[in-house]
Structure 1
Amino acid sequence: MALNTTTSGLFALNRTKVLLFACLVAIWTIAGLFPRYQESLQEQLARTRQKIPSITVEFHPNGDPLTAYDPTKLALLIEGRAKPHLVPQILHMISVVPPEWRFLFIGTNKSVAAFGRSFAIKHQQAAGKLDLMVVPKPWEIKDKEHVWRMLTGAHFYTDLLPGVEWIMKYESDSIMCSNSKDSLNDWLRFDWAAAPRSDTDTFAGNGGLSVRRVAAIKRVLDFQSRDADSEPEDEWFGKRISAMPDFKVASGLDAKHFSVEEVYHEAPMGYHLRDGPGHLAAGVWRNSDQREDPQRCEGDNREGTIDREVSLAAEKAEAEKSRIKIEEKKRAQEEAEKVLEQERKKNDAEKAADKEAENKKEEDRKKQDTKLTAKLNKEQADKAEAEAKKKAEEDKKKPPA
């Protein structure tokens, strides 16, 4: 007969008790090890906290948006008429002109109200990029003559445009080319640049789309004033600025031109239609090939899509051109540095030679001074000796007392 025994009660083993015992052992082990590693764990946690980026959210930022722009550069549009294309025109100009330039629109109550209703314009105002201004008294802009009077008055620049050094003046019938390879800042080497009136025009200064230096304008206004109801402001300024030797103006004889109005030139910065679309210069717009857009993207099939392979090939070619240009610039810089180093060595050698000559000259001067001093000392000694002999002889000749 088999004897069956079972263990029951508090000390009976089962899976739950085994797991509880293992957990207790693990906890006791960790508790015993924790004081030993507590300091290193705290250091690790501190290092981890330092690596976590801190984020600060300003719901009411106090930064001035104007600090993002250059106060010396201003794009100026003066228009008293509420034309429907002004909003897309100025938004296009903002996208083309370098980002540090600010924009100012001066108009009448009607044109400013119509222009300022656009949400996109309000956004540019909030960003500090664009200012809208109703023309203040005593100025008026009801016609071109009154605009010219304002632009040829010194108070316009001192009162309304303080601190402005460069003005890009454009009108409602002008446009900047977004595909131009030039930047507006490239033309700041001129005191006045615009469209020439002829191929031989020595002053390319049509004011409908022009870049001007305020210092040149103020210099003219310091000693002359324009008569009312006389020639346009750009012609009036042009005759005077081009005659002053201290200022540099663009010319119709130049290879590149800031803008096109009456005379066609390849790849200008922009175009201006004098007197609006009713006046199309035959030399610019009569030729149908010139009216087409020659500056399309590579691979454009004129149906709204671009051939990707052609586009990639064009991008590679452009990248290769950029690489070559960078290498040429680097080589030119290295050559310039070599020339500068040679000039520096030459200057150092000349300075050393000059210093050596100066030292030799100083030594010669010291030798001459020494010789002269010795000669003078000898002469004085000889003179003293002669006087002593003479006195001795005189003493001998005297009878004894």
Structure 2
Amino acid sequence: MSGFNTSGVLSVAPARMLVPILLILMWYLGRLHSQYEPIVTSKVSSRLEEARKMIPSVKLDWPIPLAKDPRAAFNSSKLALLIEARPLPHLPPLILHMMAVIPPDWRFLFIGSNESIIGVSRAYSIKHQQVIGKLDLVELPPPWSIASKEDVFRLLTDSRFYDEFLTDVEWILKYEHDSILCANSETSVDDGLGWDWTGAARMGDGHFSGYGGLSLRRVSVIKRVLSFQARFNDSEPEDEWFGKRLWVLPGAKVASRFDDAIAVEDVYMERPMGYHIREGGGSLDKSVWGDAARRKEIFEYCPELSMIMDMKLERQRCPDDDGNGDREMADVQVTTAVLGEGDDAKALPNDAESAVLPPQPPPLPQPWKVSVTTFGSPLRTGID
């Protein structure tokens, strides 16, 4: 506060004197800013430009972020399907081989039991295919079942299976544990997408070439059949059931000649896309596999067959095997026992034609002989 003191002199409070001083200082700084602003701006800009020129040019190539669902990288309309409840040891290499032969945009689905899924998922390569979204391992919930062939037939002839589990699928390559595609084939699976159904031909049926465990199917045509037809339980297999109806279905393009088939089962064709060996070779057709020269030609063309066939080495053949699955009859000397007096048996030779027994196992190794030698010195033992 300001006022007159006792001596009559005007006194001013320090705070009131500070306010005008600050106002004058702010006005002066404002004048300086307006004068030196262009100079400061140009100086700073030039320094920043010089520093920017000294920074090396760097180009960052950021990777494309992965999709939330890795399965989106594949074609959802194409699916290779394998259904197997048994924990067979060759399933992982079979699946990986089919992945290598089938075009890369196809997805794979393995439907199995708890045991078979555990057996397949142990392989590291299978786990990798699951991570990248190419393969799914599925155990169907109840009441679905794949415990028997009849259960699989019912599954594949039920429209709910396609609606619930194969919603976006249009083409199915169905293969089984005893079927395989050949890497040497000149034709690809995509070359058969023009068919609504194609597979293997069978002798005596020239109307339908879609049999077996290796077939290419169009789901939309399957749904057309199932929309007005239903399979009776415990009746014919699903491929035969579909074949009779697809043959007369208007507009359906079904393989009907031997040349239209993509796989070999009972009818031989040169250089097919694949083979279906029923039950791993338990019931081979002689017209296809009976000739040794033809078998050699088949195995040279498709060596992958050894993965699914129950085979043996050449040295395991019977001595009288002619190489075509037949055995030559030979004259051998056999002995027959004849009872004599006193119930004494006497062996007599008999030159008769008899079946030749399969090769017997090698004789057991003989025990080592121990020799003792003395030379007027302490006893020494050795082994001859």
Q: TM-score band, normalised by the shorter chain?
A: 0.5 to 0.7
CA contact (8 A) 1:197 1:252 kept: no
Q: Does 1:94 align with 2:99?
A: yes
After superposition, the C-alpha distances for 1:145-173 in whole angstroms (9 at most, x for unaligned) are: 11101100010100111111000000000
- Superposed, 1:223-372 pairs within 5 Å as 223-254=228-259, 256-292=260-296, 293-295=299-301
Of 116, 134, 137, the match for 1:132: 137
- Mark the runs of 5 or more structure 1 residues left unpaired by the alignment: 1-36, 298-401
Show the counterpart of 2:13: none
Show the counterpart of 1:77: 82
Q: Does 1:67 align with 2:84?
A: no
Show the counterpart of 2:214: 209
Distance 1:250 1:191 in 2: 8
Give the helix-richer structure, 1 or 2.
Answer: 1
Work out the number of aligned pairs and report it.
Answer: 257
Of 197, 200, 211, the match for 1:195: 200
Distance 2:115 2:302 in 1: 38
124 and 243 in structure 1: CA distance in 2 versus 1, 3 angstrom threshold: same
Letter in 1 for 2:83: I
State the identity %. Answer: 50
Give the strand-richer structure, 1 or 2.
Answer: 2
Of 213, 218, 222, the match for 2:227: 222
Deviation at 1:65, TM superposition (A): 1.4
After superposition, the C-alpha distances for 1:273-331 in whole angstroms (9 at most, x for unaligned) are: 1233211121211122222234499xxxxxxxxxxxxxxxxxxxxxxxxxxxxxxxxxx
CA contact (8 A) 1:80 1:110 kept: yes
61 and 280 in structure 1: CA distance in 2 versus 1, 3 angstrom threshold: same
Of 153, 156, 174, the match for 2:179: 174
Distance 1:65 1:130 in 2: 10
Q: Does 1:54 align with 2:60?
A: yes
Distance 2:302 2:83 in 1: 31
CA contact (8 A) 1:263 1:284 kept: yes
- Mark the runs of 5 or more structure 2 residues left unpaired by the alignment: 1-45, 304-384
218 and 290 in structure 1: CA distance in 2 versus 1, 3 angstrom threshold: same
SS at match of 1:278: coil
Distance 2:192 2:218 in 1: 11
Of 168, 184, 199, the match for 2:189: 184
Distance 1:137 1:189 in 2: 35
After superposition, the C-alpha distances for 1:217-275 in whole angstroms (9 at most, x for unaligned) are: 00000001000010000000000011112110112243x53100000101111000123
Show the counterpart of 1:313: none
SS at match of 1:223: coil
SS at match of 1:275: helix
Q: Does 1:153 align with 2:158?
A: yes
Letter in 2 for 1:238: G
CA contact (8 A) 1:202 1:253 kept: no
CA contact (8 A) 2:258 2:267 kept: no
Deviation at 1:204, TM superposition (A): 0.3
CA contact (8 A) 2:182 2:302 kept: no
Distance 1:156 1:45 in 2: 66
After superposition, the C-alpha distances for 1:96-153 in whole angstroms (9 at most, x for unaligned) are: 0000100000011111111111111111100101000112211111111111011000
Distance 1:253 1:113 in 2: 39
62 and 152 in structure 1: CA distance in 2 versus 1, 3 angstrom threshold: closer
SS at match of 2:213: strand
After superposition, the C-alpha distances for 1:345-387 in whole angstroms (9 at most, x for unaligned) are: xxxxxxxxxxxxxxxxxxxxxxxxxxxxxxxxxxxxxxxxxxx
Alpha-carbon RMSD across the aligned residues, in angstroms, is 2.5
Deviation at 1:56, TM superposition (A): 3.5
SS at match of 2:281: helix
CA contact (8 A) 1:199 1:253 kept: no
Of 105, 114, 120, the match for 1:115: 120
CA contact (8 A) 1:78 1:107 kept: yes
183 and 228 in structure 1: CA distance in 2 versus 1, 3 angstrom threshold: same
CA contact (8 A) 1:199 1:263 kept: no
- TM-score where L is the length of structure 1: 0.60
CA contact (8 A) 2:200 2:214 kept: yes
CA contact (8 A) 2:80 2:172 kept: yes
SS at match of 2:215: strand
CA contact (8 A) 2:157 2:238 kept: yes
CA contact (8 A) 1:193 1:210 kept: yes
